[in-house]
Amino acid sequence: MSEWQPIDTAPRDGTEIIGWAGEVVVLSYRYDENDRDELRGKMWLDNSYDDFSCGLASVPYDPTHWMPLPTPPQKE
């Protein structure tokens, strides 16, 4: 696995990463479509993905470091 890198070097194309924001969390840089405040724009969001029927929105984070997700195991 890679070493932690400064968040400024992380991909901002929607790729999921492991982020450090006081805790380890899977994040991606994207727009929260359920956030009615369009001025906030894109942000680091967790991978909970929203359940519109429940009104849940992804949680924004302010990570300081990141690393790529490991390669998932292959099916046998």
The pLDDT of 45-68, averaged and rounded, is 74
40 touches 56 (CB < 8 A): no
Q: In this predicted model, which residue has the larger pLDDT, 47 or 3?
A: 3
Residue 70 has pLDDT above 70, yes or no: yes
pLDDT digits (tens, 9 = 90+) for 14-46: 899 999 999 999 999 887 666 555 555 678 888
Q: Which of 21, 19, 16, 44 is nearest to 32 (CA)?
A: 44
